[in-house]
């Protein structure tokens, strides 16, 4: 599908500099884009590519002052990065459109309810009393257990498994291979050294607008609910344990593990491979650096931490700077020891 500069400017409420009729049909990075592609420039360090790119259209910030002539048609917007994201979203919506309807074969329990305008792919399992909302998309091979609720316009990609009693809100996206509602890791140690499984009878509640990456696992609560609040975003390969709560609009990068009953506030940012112990609280707006180990609660909002065990970010940077100086300090101490010895020998 092709878009003209005029059409793109209309979508983005941008201003055109150049040929308004030029058309593009794909996307490219500004340093690699070819004729017929659209690119964007948001980071000033890539500005030199603007004057050499072969892209037909480039989205730029209103504030950009040109150093020389450009060949591409420019579309000026307040925020080039967000505008380019909008175009990618439009493109994805077009590419991912599925025909409305139900493919064959599927299994649907007679008590299950399916809303209007849904897409359900082949080999989907829909359990007893499960409800699928209007406009939802359930891709092939997905499993929806008994008493599952899927909200309007939610997307459940291929191979997702959603266990019994779990709830998925409206406009949620769950990517392939993710498991929602598997048992929490609850085992009681016995005197003989063995372990007795603690039944996990709660559920998982995923509120509206959440996105969950591929091969993530969100465990059901022992009692009550594991909750992912509105607008939260989880990357691929994230582990969320039983009774965890992740706050509104928080983001969690890949390979992070969050232990049981931890409560994470809103607008928290967690870097990749972070590990968070159980039964603690993470304050609103906290920023946790990648590979950090969080061993105690973060009580002050908007705190940034790093390291394992994690400490306040700027203090940790000072410590790292001091560590880098240790070899030189060691040399100086040895030199001072030699000087002291020489002075002692002279007495």
Give the C-alpha separation, 16 to 282, whole Å: 45
Q: Please state whether beta strands 131-132 and 149-150 pair in parallel, antiparallel, or not at all (unpaired).
A: parallel
Closest CA to 92 of 169, 23, 1, 172: 1
Cβ density class 123-133: b for 16+ within 10 Å, e for less: bbbbbeebbbb
Q: For the chain, what is the largest distance between any 2 Cα atoms, rounded to a whole number of angstroms?
A: 101
Rounded alpha-carbon distances, angstroms, from residue 164 to 128, 144, 145, 183, 233: 9, 7, 5, 11, 23
The size of the chain, in residues, is: 347
Give the C-alpha separation, 303 to 296, whole Å: 13
R_g over Cα of the chain = 27
Q: Which residues are catalytic?
A: 242
């Amino acid at each position: 599908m092709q878009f003209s500069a005029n059409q793109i400017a209309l979508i983005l409420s941008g201003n055109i500099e150049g040929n308004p009729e030029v058309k593009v049909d794909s996307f490219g990075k500004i340093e690699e884009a070819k004729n017929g592609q659209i690119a964007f420039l948001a980071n000033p360090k890539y500005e030199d590519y603007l004057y050499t790119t072969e892209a037909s259209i480039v989205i730029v910030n209103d504030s950009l002052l040109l150093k020389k002539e450009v060949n591409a048609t420019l579309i000026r917007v307040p925020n080039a990065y967000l505008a380019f994201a909008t175009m990618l979203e439009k493109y994805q919506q077009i590419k991912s459109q599925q025909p409305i309807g139900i493919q064959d074969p599927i299994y649907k329990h007679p008590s299950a309810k399916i809303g209007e305008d849904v897409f359900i792919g082949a080999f989907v399992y829909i359990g007893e009393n499960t409800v699928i909302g209007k406009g939802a998309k359930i891709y092939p091979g997905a499993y929806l257990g008994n008493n599952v609720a899927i909200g309007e316009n939610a997307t459940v990609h291929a191979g997702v498994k959603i266990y019994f009693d779990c709830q998925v809100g409206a406009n949620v996206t769950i990517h392939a291979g993710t498991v929602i509602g598997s048992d929490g890791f609850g085992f009681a140690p016995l005197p003989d050294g063995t372990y007795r499984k603690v039944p996990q009878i709660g559920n998982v509640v995923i509120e509206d607008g959440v996105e969950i990456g591929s091969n993530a696992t969100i465990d059901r609560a022992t009692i009550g609910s594991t909750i992912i609040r509105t607008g939260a975003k989880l990357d691929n390969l994230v582990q969320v344990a039983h009774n965890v709560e992740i706050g509104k609009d928080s983001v969690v990068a890949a390979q992070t593990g969050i232990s049981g009953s931890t409560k994470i506030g809103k607008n928290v940012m967690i870097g990749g491979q972070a590990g968070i112990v159980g039964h603690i609280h993470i304050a609103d707006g906290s920023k946790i650096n990648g590979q950090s180990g969080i061993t105690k609660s973060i009580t002050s909002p908007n705190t940034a931490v790093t390291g394992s065990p994690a400490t306040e970010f700027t203090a940790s940077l000072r410590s790292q700077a001091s560590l880098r100086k240790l070899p030189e300090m060691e040399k100086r101490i040895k030199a001072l020891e030699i000087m002291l010895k020489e002075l002692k020998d002279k007495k």
